[in-house]
Amino acid sequence: MSPVERRNVGRGAAAARAAVVLCVAGVLVGAAPAAYADPAPDGKRDLEDVRKRIDDLYRRAERATDAYNGAKEQVERQQKEIVKLAKDIVSTQERRKQLKKRAGSLASAQYRGGGLPAEAKLMLNRDPEGFLDNATLARKGQHAVRTVLGQLARTEDDLQGYAQDASERWDRLEKERKKKAAAKKDIEKKIDAAERIESQLKAEEKERLKKLEEDRAHRAQTKWLDSGILREIGGDASAQGKKAISYATAQIGKNYVWGAEGPDTFDCSGLTMRAWEAAGRTIPRTSQEQWRQLRRIDIDDMRPGDLIIYHEDASHVGMYLGDGAIVHAPRPGRQVTIAGAGSMRILGVVRPDAKG
């Protein structure tokens, strides 16, 4: 029975619920893996120190990934705005051309009339009916000229405004492109450093390192469960939440790739964004913006489909499945998987649902 199916089971005793959670994919609870720490005196590597160094590098890469994703989103937004402004400028230039043509026609008509303004012709006309006709024509002519000149002036102002806005947009675009490039370089540098460290390990050391990671996650999850938190959490997923969970869990086994939004690879926030998009809800692209913009929920009120934001800098996110489990995209070299909701430091919980 999957975590998604189990969330519909009635609430049991805390111990029973914890036991169920601990069985999920062998990562939530169960027999605790042995703790590994190579002694330094005999010349062996201190794998716990290696684990911390690698974890720190990937954490910093994840923070840079959030910066990259944010800059990428801004670049795309600025590009769309610039395209829109370009269209506005073209249409306004065409309008200005037409207004100038109309203004020229009015000037030509006045010239063909002998160069006399309509008011002078009005004074020289001795025919009462002609006087009234000329008076009407004079008013209409004056109004037409004022209207065209006013429209032309507003059009010139619009063009100047569009040009200024376009210039500012280009400046912002260039700044975001530089931020994006710098973040990309930072990410690649840190991931390369982590991979170099791992590549220097022997096969048996890599296996022990993996067990160390599991052991750390197990201890954190056990501590979280021992707090009795599951006695407080028992909400049911909304209709949208169920759709988001269905999408997210269908991606299990796909590789983590920084900056990826699917459909074949994901980073942590790319997965949650696409999952809620599949549920009909547009949410921010990055975990930091998800934390900043989405409605925050007390952890006691958490329900399946909600997003758990991790670490003090909101650099990681996972989707709560119920029974103390999440689905998330962990880091480079790992796949989308199920993990304990308390296996990392929780910053808070947000709810993407529009209502409820």
Tell me the per-residue pLDDT of 245-274, one tens digit each, with 9 for 90 and over.
999 999 999 999 988 999 999 999 999 999
Q: How confident is the model at residue 53 (pLDDT cuts 50, 70, 90)?
A: confident
Rounded to the nearest 5°, which phi and psi values hold at 267? -105, 180
Measured over the CA atoms of residue 53, residue 68, residue 70 and residue 333, the dihedral's sign is: negative
**Whole-number mean pLDDT of the chain?**
77
pLDDT for res 351:
97
Q: In what order do the strands lie in the sheet with 295-297?
A: 295-297, 346-351, 307-310, 316-322, 325-328, 337-340
CA distance 228 to 149: 76
In sequence order, which ranges of 267-317 are alpha helices (DSSP H)?
Answer: 268-278, 287-293
Among the listed residues 70, 68, 61, the one whose alpha carbon sits nearest the alpha carbon of residue 311: 61
Q: In this structure, are residues 310 and 347 in contact, taking their beta carbons and an 8 Å threshold?
A: yes
Name the strand (E) or helix (H) holding 158: helix 128-199
| DSSP for residue 42 | T
- The pLDDT tens digits for 81-120 are 878 777 777 777 777 777 777 766 766 665 555 444 555 5
Token digits of residue 189: 């540098």
CB atoms within 10 A of CB 326: 26
Cα angle: 234, vertex 312, 181; to 5 degrees? 120
pLDDT above 50 (res 18): no
Question: Terminus-to-terminus CA distance in the chain, angstroms?
Answer: 27
- The pLDDT tens digits for 114-148 are 444 555 555 555 555 555 455 555 555 556 666 66
CB atoms within 10 A of CB 32: 11
Decide the pairing of beta strands 346-351 and 307-310.
antiparallel
CA distance 170 to 285: 23
Q: In this structure, are residues 106 and 148 in contact, taking their beta carbons and an 8 Å threshold?
A: yes
Among the listed residues 271, 253, 279, the one whose alpha carbon sits nearest the alpha carbon of residue 354: 279
CA distance 155 to 96: 6
- The pLDDT tens digits for 321-343 are 999 999 999 998 899 999 999 99
- The pLDDT tens digits for 285-311 are 999 999 999 999 999 999 999 999 999
Among the listed residues 329, 63, 58, 49, the one whose alpha carbon sits nearest the alpha carbon of residue 194: 58
What per-residue string of b and e applies to 200-239 under the rule 16 or more CB within 10 Å gives b? ebeeebeebbebbbebbbbebbbebbeeebbeebbbebbe
Provide the annotated active-site residues.
268, 316, 328
Q: How confident is the model at residue 188 (pLDDT cuts 50, 70, 90)?
A: confident
Cis, bond preceding 263 (omega within 30 deg of 0) = yes
Q: What percent of the chain has pLDDT over 70?
A: 73
pLDDT for res 244:
97
